[in-house]
Structure 1
Amino acid sequence: MIVVPPLDADAVLWSVPPEERAGRPLLVLLHGYGSHEEDLFGLASFLPEEFVIAAVRAPLSPPFPAPGWSWFPIEGLHARRGEAVTAATERLLTWLDEQTDGPTIGLLGFSQGAVIALQALRLQPTRFAFAVALAGFVADEPVPTDAALAAVRPPVFWGRGARDEVIPEERIAHTSQWLPGHVDLSGRVYPGLAHSVSQDELDDVVLFLRQRLAAKAAPE
């Protein structure tokens, strides 16, 4: 059994104070393995200012001597168990229930954080407006609400580096097959990019986010 502690609400970094958050779209940043909430928060100044940005800290400490925090274990079989991914994602959903009330919520995750972002879409398909998944993948095991996600088909941007040697090829193959059948997929493979984020990728993410804002503002 995977035991995942709650997210630390005091560790969340916000782009604006509480009095400036009401009624604005929320973008939640989810960092990767062995990292921390300050990592992706460094991108906040480059992202559209219409969003309230919240960078959360993953709930688990990797085994010594690895630094930082993680969303789920990657040792042995844990790397393939959807149970661990779901348990961590449920902690994120609980934090959102308790700490946020934004009318629109989007997710942006890197590596493990991208896995959590996509799993959140799977668990609650109608809750999130979109997801950005960078250098990540879809967890292997089916989720009961996958069919509901395929019916909703929220927008997803999936970006990855052509020279990323961290994410196994079979995970990329599975994700490449799975995403088009469940979401409105866009994205790009970046030549020469390893397990990181490039300026070209950041530019594409900003464009994707601006498109989401424009779609939200357009009359129905």
Structure 2
Amino acid sequence: MSEQPVIDRTAVRWGPRREGAPLLVLLHGYGSDENDLFGLVPFLPDPFTVASLPAPLTAPWPMPGRSWYVIDELERRDPEPVTAAARAVLDWLDDDARDAPRILLLGFSQGASVALQTLRLAPERIDAVVNLAGYAAPGDLPRDPELREARPPVFWGRGTKDDVIPHALVDHTAQWLPDHAELSGRVYPGLTHSVSEEELADVRAFLERRLAEPVEDADGQVGGAPGV
């Protein structure tokens, strides 16, 4: 059995730390790094504290950047490498985000699959997920029934010209997400395996709705939304 992957804490890129603000964690795609998704921050609502994580694996030569799991697993549809990467994200949250009042995940491609898997492993810790050009890993996890009951908010955006994610995984995600989440999102005509400004406007609206939601404290009392 391979070692559990670990996030390099020294490589995490942070935005301004806003006391009491929700934490938005960015999970980049295959062959990229923690700097990539920071280009999206100007399009997102201000009240978040933002942290962009580096994937734990080095992408195989000659691909630059990093990966969350070996890309071949995408074709084999083996969920365990995605689960291992999600555990690495949870371990990082234990170490560096224990005091965050709310945690939301935004991932692209591989990073989106890891974001959804993290939600599945610890639904009580993740408030919402933004899935950009990603997919839900196949297979069942022990806490999936909790998601089916709780229906946490998930945004899913993908393009009609995205030829990177296999059709079988897109079809699986299209069936799995509505059954386990309060799903919103769009299919963008002509968009490839990328993100458009139109999509980012939809993501911003989705996140603003999450910011406006009341929050329960540890005693189950409802209070105002933090950071607003």
Q: Same fold (TM over 0.5)?
A: yes
Q: 1:215 — aligned with what?
A: 213
Provide the C-alpha distance between the structure 2 equivalents of 1:27 and 1:197, rounded to a whole number of angstroms. Answer: 18
Contact in 2 for aligned 1:122/1:146 (Cα 8 Å): yes
* 1:22–1:78 Cα change, 3 Å: farther
Deviation of 1:21 (Å): 3.3
- Does residue 204 of structure 1 match 2:202? yes
Q: 2:23 — aligned with what?
A: 26
- Does residue 75 of structure 1 match 2:68? no
Deviation of 1:5 (Å): 2.9
Contact in 1 for aligned 2:18/2:47 (Cα 8 Å): no
Deviation of 1:98 (Å): 0.3
Matching of residues 2-41 of structure 1 within 5 Å:
2-16=2-16, 20-41=17-38
Question: What amino acid is the match of 2:92?
Answer: W
Contact in 2 for aligned 1:2/1:84 (Cα 8 Å): no
TM-score (normalizing by structure 2): 0.91
TM-score (normalizing by structure 1): 0.94
Would you say how many aligned residue pairs link Structure 1 and Structure 2? 217
Deviation of 1:219 (Å): 6.0
Provide the C-alpha distance between the structure 2 equivalents of 1:204 and 1:216, rounded to a whole number of angstroms. Answer: 21
CA deviations over 1:135-173 (Å, ceiling 9, x no partner): 000001211110011111110000000100000101010
Residue ranges of structure 2 left out of the alignment (5+ in a row): 216-221
CA deviations over 1:172-207 (Å, ceiling 9, x no partner): 100000111100000100000000000100000001
Question: What amino acid is the match of 1:32?
Answer: G
- Name the structure where helix makes up a greater proportion of residues: 1
Q: 1:128 — aligned with what?
A: 126
Provide the C-alpha distance between the structure 2 equivalents of 1:77 and 1:185, rounded to a whole number of angstroms. Answer: 23
Please tell me the root mean square deviation across aligned C-alpha atoms, in Å. Answer: 1.6
Contact in 1 for aligned 2:5/2:84 (Cα 8 Å): no
Q: 1:62 — aligned with what?
A: 59
* 1:76–1:118 Cα change, 3 Å: closer
Contact in 2 for aligned 1:2/1:83 (Cα 8 Å): no
Matching of residues 110-129 of structure 1 within 5 Å:
110-129=108-127
Identity of aligned residues (%): 55
Pick from 39, 48, 51 the counterpart of residue 51 of structure 1. Answer: 48
Question: What amino acid is the match of 2:136?
Answer: V
Q: 2:219 — aligned with what?
A: none
Contact in 1 for aligned 2:156/2:186 (Cα 8 Å): yes
